[in-house]
Structure 1
Amino acid sequence: MSPVSLLLPRSNIDTPLAKAIFGVSLVFTITSLISTVLRLWAKRINRGRIVTEDYLCITSLILVIGMFICLCLMIGLGGVGHDVSTLPPMDSAYVFQILIGFQTLYCLSVATIKSSLCFFYIRIFAVNRSYRIVAYLVIAFIAAWAILSVLIAFVSCTPFAFTWDPTIAGGHCDNEQGSFVAEAVLDLVADIMVFALPLKPIWQLQINNEKRLVLFAIFGLGISTMIMAILRIVGLYQLNFFTFQTSAVPPLIYSILEPAIGISVACIPLMQPLIKDTWLGKKLAKSGSKHSRPLYNNGNSNNMIRRMKKDENELSLVHPTNVSISGGRGTQSDNEDSESFQHVSNMNGITKTNHVHIARGV
């Protein structure tokens, strides 16, 4: 028995809508898988360790694969992509049962890949405490959205079985369509938040405008997930539960495209070892940056040096290749002792210099 036969028990890919939802979801599931493999391969080349954002990306990929399986079952068992008038009543029960699992996987996959991007930005751009706080607040918003969205799938109808069996006496559903649209709007808000996180740090880099545009283009790929979120809102608004098997096709497609594209977007900035000989790789390798910032501290200078040595702020796709720290003691007055340090990191042609001046009273 072929894999397709296992996923599509009745082989219901015999209408344009069924072919569209199966083909598009298959292609982008494979694309997200390839992107994740290339991400991990690039990590291996750079001898980088697997960190939080990598685990979240892998988790999101697994969930996207689960979404694809759900879509296949919706086509094979629930008749998605077919005129509901040509289907037996049991198909509608199947499709709404599977939809609960699909909705849960969607929320978790979107939340994990967005959180992966946030942790990535924290690691490479968090030069101050306020940036970290903002990024963690975005992660908290994403987590709250995911929990709320999953709950919507389970509490919209009373009793729960009324979700797929409208013959239950006394059962009722709240405004499911309105709940789905509200959830999708909040998802778009989260997309905008994640998209905005790297903009200010990139703008502050002291590089020429051409190279800055290249970086904006890489991190700006997140616009594609925002487009999917907007299209999903439109599809949910136009959804008709009485003709669900056909009217649900667009929002179902956009639902799997959003996390699948998000995975690719999250992986691309980490692929520099694989694209270093391309035009884009050469552009990034030639980018030069001098990012200076004064820091003042009344604590011990050795603590500041340790902080600089453990600094993991990298510019997107690069790892430090050369680090030097120089220091000197300034002249002392009757009431002041001072030390100055210079921390220089050269990251594949991108140089970051931190000047640290520590002054403390006697």
Structure 2
Amino acid sequence: MILTSLRPYDLSVANARQPVVASTVLAVLATLMTLLRYVNRLVQKAPFGWDDFLMLGALLSSYAELILYWCCVTLGGTGRHAADVGYPDILLTLKLLVPFELLYNLSMTCLKCGIIAFYFRLFGRDEIVKRYGKVIIWATVIWGVASIIVIFLICRPFSYSWDTSQPGSCGNRNDMYIINGIGNMLLDIAILVLPLPTIWKLKLPTAQKIGLALIFSLGIFVAIISIIRIKELLAVDFEDITWSLPGGLEWTCLEESIALINANLPFLRSIFKHMTPKAFSAQWASNQQSRRTNTRKTDKSIGDDTEGTFSLVDKSVSSQYMELPDYGTGHSVHSQSGHS
């Protein structure tokens, strides 16, 4: 093995270039979708909530991971066979994997909690969402913290994670990847299922209920990608780490980007409505009438909005009334700001 550093490495090798470029493209799309979320808040003159801050935390963590990925490719030789990479660069790649794994768990924890916080804003009075949403948040946080602790404990001493020339040992890292991936996948499924009973109680035609359920069920793609990620991580060969690693890094980044895109999809319709008001003129007029009616009601309950938009009716800091259809007589979709 070559003992000296060969950095920097270019992108001439397809196994190095294609995965990192694909990850970057999806990260840009995830950024645009997340920005739409904040544009929607500003257009609606709505206060930012915990869901918005958590999504920002997930996005920034994914940026840091992508930067580490690029460092692995350009400085650590990732994408090339270990025999063609300098030994110091292989050590660098192994070192960079540690913060990469930490940031992944941080990003996914923020993202999952952000989605639940968004559900609280939409369905704040629904007992199913309130009760089980809190359970899922606690499970997500505990799982995220446990996963981070395992990263520090899997190898003893800790530095053995990247420097195997010293005395030490590591547990089965493939088992760690499998358990971590399965846990995240189960949490994704729980988050996916959580709003469905509430959506089904909405006073809407069945076709519209199915449409809303499908929008909130797009998270199934994240669960599928999580399975692919596990498969790619299991293919990592620590004897040829730089060659076998790109697939695992790529699908880790793709999982986060697609999860961010999915989490921000509900805001697209509201943005398009404001960009092309004529296309939504009939609905806009209906919503305006509903808002005028709502502001005259002392209890500020929601009028019927069968289109299921995500605009704020009451824009005060103390409470948020989301324009969603009623799901029972005398009920409204309401959440108290700052409370989960």
Tell me the equivalent position of 1:338: none
1:176 to 132, 153, 173: 173
Written as runs of structure 1 = structure 2, the 5 A alignment for 1:303-322 is: 309=300, 315=308, 317-320=310-313
- Which digits, 9 at most, give the CA deviation of each residue in 1:62-83, with x for residues without a partner? 1010010010011112111111
Q: Which residue of 2 aligns with 1:339?
A: none
Q: 2: distance between equivalents of 1:137 and 1:346?
A: 23
> In the alignment, what sits opposite 2:87?
89
Decide whether the 8 Å contact of 1:321 with 1:347 is kept in 2: no
For residues 346 and 76 of structure 1, the distance between their equivalents in structure 2, rounded to whole angstroms, comes to 47
Partner of 2:123: 125
Where does residue 291 of structure 1 map in the other structure? none
Q: Percent identity?
A: 22
Aligned equivalents of 1:119, 1:283: Cα separation in 2 = 31
1:185 to 149, 168, 182: 182
Which residue of 251, 254, 263 maps to 1:254?
251
Q: 1:100 aligns to what?
A: 98
Q: After superposition, what is the alpha-carbon deviation per residue over 1:155-185, rounded to whole angstroms, capped at 9, x for unaligned?
A: 111111111111102x111111111111111
Displacement of 1:351: 5.5
Partner of 1:70: 68
Q: How does 1:2-17 map to 2 (within 5 A)?
A: 10-17=8-15
The residue identity in structure 1 corresponding to 2:312 is H
2-side partners of 1:49 and 1:135: how far apart?
22
TM-score (norm 2): 0.81
The Cα offsets for residues 32-89 of structure 1, whole Å up to 9 and x where unpaired, read as 1111111111111111110000000011111010010010011112111111111121
Higher strand share: 1
Partner of 1:141: 139
Deviations along 1:229-285, one digit per CA (max 9) or x if unpaired, are 010111122222112212222221111111111111111112333122779x85995
**Structure 1 position 346, deviation (Å):** 9.3
SS at match of 2:330: strand
1:160 equivalent among 143, 158, 161: 158
Report SS of the residue matched to 1:82.
Answer: coil
Structure 2, unmatched stretches of 5+, are 1-6, 287-296, 316-320, 332-340
Runs of at least 5 residues in structure 1 that lack an aligned partner in the other structure: 1-8, 289-304, 323-344, 357-362
Query: Between Structure 1 and Structure 2, how many residues are aligned?
Result: 303
Query: Which residue does 1:328 correspond to in 2?
Result: none
Q: Describe the SS at the equivalent of 1:206.
A: coil
Query: Scaled by the length of structure 1, what TM-score is found?
Result: 0.77
Shift of 1:151: 1.5
Q: 1: distance between equivalents of 2:237 and 2:126?
A: 48
Map 1:181-260 → 2, pairs under 5 A? 181-260=178-257
Structure 1 254/282 Cα, relative in aligned 2: closer, same or farther at 3 Å? farther
Matched residue of 1:118: which SS?
helix
Q: Structure with the greater relative contact order (CA < 8 A, sep ≥ 6): 1 or 2?
A: 2
Deviation by residue 1:311-361 (Cα, 9 ceiling, x = unmatched): 9xx956232279xxxxxxxxxxxxxxxxxxxxxx8938x4666438xxxxx
